[in-house]
A and B are shown apart, each in its own frame.
Chain A
């Protein structure tokens, strides 16, 4: 635990030294480090996490719709893991508000981000710049809207789709 603590302060320290304005806030929850990163510096931080600090696994990308509780409305969380030593780091990225929230893609750094970003786009409607194939992952092509946004009407039904090609 002590070692983990030392390691984590190292992560925060690393970013303070190298990418000063990138990290807006650092917090620690249940032994895990959570960094709030500004969207402009996301790619630099992720590259640094992978290359310099050895976080070699992107576990998941999660999007949150805070509605009016938090500004800006959308937040995208990146969950990273380092296999050597079992370390975890979470990046929180606030995404600019509006009907068409956008963020830079990290698919060229972590290829596992491909489907994760597609899912986030599918469910939350966040566009990722530089994604090679940003189309719906789970829902069908003709679906209108993004159902995990809190303002999507829960009773809304859409026409039954025609049989799509599975591949």
Chain B
């Protein structure tokens, strides 16, 4: 062995030092993984869909299985706006303001027929779908929807937040 090689400070990383306790990934993937598994919903409930949401949160259906159980009643603390119920024209600017008060990144789910399209209220007073004032990520049909449908919407939203983590049905 030559002297020059002997004196140089080359450190080889030992491969067996940490064993399999470390895995490498990208920062973006870790953040997305955290975001999709800890959605903080802000319920904007105006009608019977909000009653159904109580069932979604409660033990039988248990929204916490999907990491979204921490319901906040302040838009500044939440990143998932669940609009559940009929939104009329006078309420539209209120809903818009609530949405604007939420911090980025934020997502919106229109739960039920009324929030999605106005439902059967085809008249002078009811907004024909909340997408007239706020951007919507997932629409849930039903009048009101079953709790499973709301959970399905959350899973769909998780797929939207982090599409790569869903491989062959493994969440």
Stretch at the interface among A78-86, A104-112, A154-162: A154-162
Chain A residues whose CB sits within 8 angstroms of the CB of B92 once the complex forms: 160-161
Q: Which of B92-140 contact A (CB under 8 A)?
A: 92-94, 97, 122-125, 127-128, 132-133
From B89, B122, B132, A161 is in contact (CB under 8 Å) with B89
User: How would you classify the secondary structure of chain B's contact residues: helix, strand, loop or mixed?
Assistant: loop
Interface residues of A in 142-164 (CB under 8 A from B): 147, 152, 154-158, 160-164
Task: Give CA–CA (A158, B122) in the complex, Å.
Answer: 13
Q: Does A7 contact B (CB under 8 A)?
A: no
Give the docked Cα–Cα distance between A157 and B121 (Å).
12
Known contacts A140-B89, A154-B122; A160/B94 CB under 8 A: no
B11 is an interface residue with CB less than 8 A from chain A: no
Which residue in chain A gives the minimum CB-CB distance to B124? A147
Question: Shortest Cβ distance from B87 into chain A, in angstroms?
Answer: 11
Q: How many angstroms from the CA of A160 to the CA of B94 in the assembled complex?
A: 11
Interface size classification for chain B: 10 to 19
B90 interface contact, C-beta 8 A: yes
- The CA-CA distance from A162 to B90 in the complex, in Å, is 8
Question: How many pairs of residues, A versus B, come closer than 8 Å at their CB atoms?
Answer: 32
At the interface, yes or no: A53 with Cβ under 8 Å from chain B?
Answer: no
| Chain B CB within 8 A of A24 CB | no
Contact A160/B132 with A139-B90, A140-B90 known, Cβ cut-off 8 Å: yes
Q: Are B123 and A154 in contact (CB under 8 A)?
A: yes
Q: Report the Cα distance A154→B97, complex, angstroms.
A: 28
Question: Considering the chains assembled together, what is the distance between the CA atoms of A160 and B132 in angstroms?
Answer: 9
B124 touches A160 (CB 8 A): no
Report Cα–Cα, A25/B127, bound state, in Å. Answer: 44
List, in ascending order, chain B residues with CB within 8 A of A152's CB.
124
Instruction: Knowing A139-B90, A140-B90, A154-B122 are in contact, say whether A160-B97 is a contact too (CB < 8 A).
Output: no
**Cα–Cα, bound, A152→B125 (Å):** 12
Partner of B124, one of A158, A162, A163, A164: A158
Q: Which of A147, A163, A164 is close to B125, meaning CB atoms less than 8 Å apart?
A: A147
Measured in the bound complex, the distance between the Cα atoms of B127 and A158 in whole Å is: 10
Digit string of B62-95 for contact with A (CB within 8 Å is 1, else 0)? 0000000000000000000000000001101110
**CB<8 Å pairs between A and B, sample of 12:** A139-B90, A140-B90, A152-B124, A154-B122, A158-B89, A160-B93, A160-B127, A160-B132, A160-B133, A161-B89, A161-B90, A163-B93
User: Which residues of chain B have a CB within 8 Å of any CB of chain A?
Assistant: 89-90, 92-94, 97, 122-125, 127-128, 132-133
Further 12 A-B residue pairs, CB within 8 A, beyond A140-B90, A161-B89, A161-B90: A147-B124, A147-B125, A152-B124, A154-B122, A154-B123, A156-B124, A157-B128, A160-B89, A160-B133, A161-B92, A163-B93, A163-B94
